Structure 1
Amino acid sequence: MPLSQLTLHNFRNYPELRLNAVPGFMVFSGANGAGKTNILEAVSLLAPGRGLRRAALRDIAYQNGPGDFAVAAQLGDVHLGSGTSMEAPERRKTRINEAAVPTNDLAEWLSILWLTPAMDRLFTEGASGRRNFLDRLVTALEPSHAGNCARYEAARRERNRLLADAYPANHSWMEGLDVQLARFGSLVAEARDRMVSALNQGLQQSDSRIFATPAMQLADDELHSEHQLHQMLQHYRPADRAAGRTIRGPHRTDLLVMHSAKQQPAEKCSTGEQKALLFSIILAHADLIAERRNSRPILLLDEVAAHLDPQRRAALFDKLAERGGQVWLTGTEPELFREIPDSALHFEVADGTVRQR
């Protein structure tokens, strides 16, 4: 279900902003620094996690404001809201129909995917970025995954604290943490494995004439059952104590992507090919969500048109229009979006103001 309205309060460079939205394309054009990406970031905060910039909450609030911010949206008859207060600017609060709920509950109502220029480095930087990327894909389809990841990380932080302590921890205390790590770690690993398998199946059926077809694989040897993961944690406990941290487990997983036609790792492909691989993954994932949840996700595509030649740009817009769903796009020039359907809403963004064209 698409958003029908978006309201911002003290968000980035917008003291106040209210936008009506349509089910199809929402197009924002304007100079760099005008505030286009800020609008997409606001939408991304209607999903669990830290949004498309992964910014600290204090950096999101309007610079000349009191320190709070709010993002609200209308989704059919449902009102979604997320933000901070002046009293607690470092704590994000979420409401659904005015009732306070955990932020992870947003995933029950909305699936949101995004592609940003920063993600161009996904295949060449560290594994943590690829794990975060994969976990966002999983959460969009399996909302409980966000909670399982959070519980795993909380247990791992506590275990690392005990491992780094100069005095050995009580055995039963450490054993209890190992039980938690094994339980939530196995749930996290199994969900990731399901996602990679489902995406690979969808990608094999995709049209490779426009965008490159990737093959995905989890690179770890920790994809175990709960029992096996528990045994591994017990076995490596002496090595973990020597290192002062948990050295093996799902927190070390990496996502490997291969250009199928060239049989070449994504990190060795050209920048354009890497972008094409990302497009293919995002589109396949959107199709998977539509199939499983009977509702297309909201797509946030930041500055994507400028990196495509006219043929691929037109093909992308055709694919998005054919599949339906709500798509929010940004670009510096309105001419980049000439092939977008006439039903789209076009906005001009300049110095924190948004005007419909």
Structure 2
Amino acid sequence: MHLARLALHDFRSYPEVELTLAPGATSFIGANGQGKTNLVEAVDYLSRLDSHRVAGDAPLVRSGEDGPVERAVIRAEVVRGDRTALLELEITPGRANRARVNRAALPRVRDVVGILRTVMFSPEDLALVKGDPSDRRRFMDGLLVLRSPRLAGVKADYDRVLKQRNTLLKSSRGGRQVDMSTLDIWDDKLVTLGGELVAARLSLLEDLAPHLTESYLTVAAGAAPDRREVTTSYRSSAPLDGHDVPAVVEALRAGLEDRHRDERDRGISLVGPHRDDVHLAIGALPAKGYASHGESWSLALALRLASFTVLRADDDDDPVLILDDVFAELDEGRREQLAALVATAEQVLVTAAVADDVPASLRGTRFTVESGAVTVDE
């Protein structure tokens, strides 16, 4: 899979830009603040309907002289084997976004997810190691949706149920007299959808583990012997007796029954995948709080590389690999190790502030990005 063309209209800093791309490596070189990350952010957003930089859509729409414009548009030609698909996404903050494939409107915007698959590594990924559980849940769920796009619907339905259930619990807080007859209905929906989501996360973590170990050993070459092993474990808000969907559903149901009183006192749902975490350890110690900056960076990068390998293995088709401002944080040896790891990817998009930071094997076609203008180097 590779991107053959990218066109943006009023996305971030770009009133209009159109680029022709090719398989292999492409590098975007420019000083900070010139707009190079905006280009790869658009590619990744089209893949997942999620930005690695912001939670909402409003910042994605360009601000003109009189304030934000009405909408932003991303268009991309995606080549997969001998087929080409034209993807179009309209981003309209405060209203429903719209998506088209080959000029035909999709009934739901989320149906565009997974047609273009990306794996992106950026400085923000340090949060996967150092950040809150929500950062690791977001990582897992984003990868799940790329592997199985239908899970986007499961996640959206779960979030709606959780919101409704929390509203009901909050209204009863403090002993207020509220009709709680619908709580059982919300409980059933929460454990059914949550059980499917947790079971999928568990399966994904099992698939990731060996690739994470291998990737970390490569990017952290030279680490002390007791700091070379990476382990992962899933921390559930309810004790799990099995990893299949029925077993997880029953565990969540039992967990809800145990915490009903606490939930009503606190006015919030305390059991479910929204409360879970993925525990990461290097050697015998948790990565969060104990890993050095270099170790955290290496582990975050290894997580993304493992994601790439898992997606590639699913259907023998490479996702587009995006390395956003990665090389500035790595010494020369680790830059070359990373370049060797990704050299076989069908398409790699690289951004960097300094051209010499990018290993020669990944410079490929080079674009210069300056003051919002993107020009190809001859």
Same topology, TM > 0.5: yes
Compared with structure 1, are the counterparts of its residues 121 and 226 closer, same or farther at alpha carbon in structure 2 (3 Å cutoff)?
closer
SS in structure 1 at match of 2:350: strand
Contact 2:106 2:112 in 1 (8 A): no
Q: State the distance in 2 between where 1:21 and 1:349 align.
A: 15
What corresponds to 1:226 in structure 2? Answer: 249
Contact 2:161 2:190 in 1 (8 A): yes
Confirm whether residue 79 of structure 1 aligns to residue 86 of structure 2: yes
Q: Spell out, residue by residue over 1:99-118, the C-alpha distance to the aligned partner (whole angstroms, 9 max, x if none).
A: 22423222341221211112
What corresponds to 1:349 in structure 2? Answer: 369
SS in structure 1 at match of 2:130: coil
Confirm whether residue 6 of structure 1 aligns to residue 27 of structure 2: no
What corresponds to 1:214 in structure 2? Answer: 230
Contact 1:160 1:246 in 2 (8 A): yes
Compared with structure 1, are the counterparts of its residues 142 and 334 closer, same or farther at alpha carbon in structure 2 (3 Å cutoff)?
same
Confirm whether residue 197 of structure 1 aligns to residue 206 of structure 2: yes
What corresponds to 2:334 in structure 1? Answer: 312
Q: Which residue identity is paired with 1:180?
A: K
Compared with structure 1, are the counterparts of its residues 29 and 187 closer, same or farther at alpha carbon in structure 2 (3 Å cutoff)?
same
1:354 is displaced (CA, Å) by: 0.3
Q: State the distance in 2 between where 1:270 and 1:207 align.
A: 14
Q: State the distance in 1 between where 2:255 and 2:216 align.
A: 42
Q: Which residue identity is paired with 1:70?
A: V
Alignment of 1:52-91 (within 5 A): 52-64=52-64, 66-76=69-79, 77-85=84-92, 89-91=94-96
Contact 2:26 2:362 in 1 (8 A): no
1:233 is displaced (CA, Å) by: 1.9
What corresponds to 1:39 in structure 2? Answer: 39
Contact 1:163 1:240 in 2 (8 A): yes
1:164 is displaced (CA, Å) by: 1.1
Q: State the distance in 2 between where 1:197 and 1:293 align.
A: 18
1:246 is displaced (CA, Å) by: 0.5
1:39 is displaced (CA, Å) by: 0.5
What corresponds to 1:324 in structure 2? Answer: 345
Q: State the distance in 2 between where 1:92 and 1:45 align.
A: 12
Q: State the distance in 1 between where 2:9 and 2:61 align.
A: 9
Q: TM-score, normalized by length of structure 2?
A: 0.87
1:172 is displaced (CA, Å) by: 4.3
Q: State the distance in 2 between where 1:162 and 1:210 align.
A: 48
What corresponds to 2:164 in structure 1? Answer: 158
1:249 is displaced (CA, Å) by: 1.6
Q: State the distance in 1 between where 2:362 and 2:4 align.
A: 18
Structure 2 gaps of 5+ residues are: 221-227, 241-246
Contact 2:130 2:296 in 1 (8 A): no
Query: Which residue of the other structure, out of 258, 271, 274, is the alignment partner of 2:293?
Result: 271
After TM superposition, the structure 1 stretch with the greater mean CA deviation from structure 2, 28-37 or 225-234, is: 225-234
After TM superposition, the structure 1 stretch with the greater mean CA deviation from structure 2, 108-117 or 38-47, is: 108-117
Contact 1:57 1:90 in 2 (8 A): no
What corresponds to 2:108 in structure 1? Answer: 102
Q: TM-score, normalized by length of structure 1?
A: 0.92
Q: State the distance in 1 between where 2:86 and 2:286 align.
A: 43
Q: Which residue identity is paired with 2:49?
A: G
SS in structure 1 at match of 2:261: helix
SS in structure 2 at match of 1:120: helix
After TM superposition, the structure 1 stretch with the greater mean CA deviation from structure 2, 194-203 or 333-342, is: 333-342
Q: Spell out, residue by residue over 1:178-212, the C-alpha distance to the aligned partner (whole angstroms, 9 max, x if none).
A: 11101110011001101111111333455714335
What corresponds to 1:283 in structure 2? Answer: 305
Q: Which residue identity is paired with 1:335?
A: D
Q: Spell out, residue by residue over 1:156-193, the C-alpha distance to the aligned partner (whole angstroms, 9 max, x if none).
A: 10001111114555454211111110111001100110
Q: State the distance in 1 between where 2:12 and 2:215 align.
A: 38
Structure 1 gaps of 5+ residues are: none
Q: State the distance in 2 between where 1:33 and 1:143 align.
A: 33
What corresponds to 1:140 in structure 2? Answer: 146
Q: Spell out, residue by residue over 1:5-35, the C-alpha distance to the aligned partner (whole angstroms, 9 max, x if none).
A: 0000011111000011111112111111000
Alignment of 1:7-22 (within 5 A): 7-22=7-22
1:67 is displaced (CA, Å) by: 2.3
Compared with structure 1, are the counterparts of its residues 233 and 191 closer, same or farther at alpha carbon in structure 2 (3 Å cutoff)?
same
After TM superposition, the structure 1 stretch with the greater mean CA deviation from structure 2, 105-114 or 298-307, is: 105-114
Q: State the distance in 1 between where 2:237 and 2:91 align.
A: 40
What corresponds to 1:173 in structure 2? Answer: 182
Confirm whether residue 92 of structure 1 aligns to residue 97 of structure 2: yes
Q: State the distance in 2 between where 1:245 and 1:111 align.
A: 35
1:91 is displaced (CA, Å) by: 3.1
SS in structure 2 at match of 1:287: helix
Contact 2:335 2:359 in 1 (8 A): no
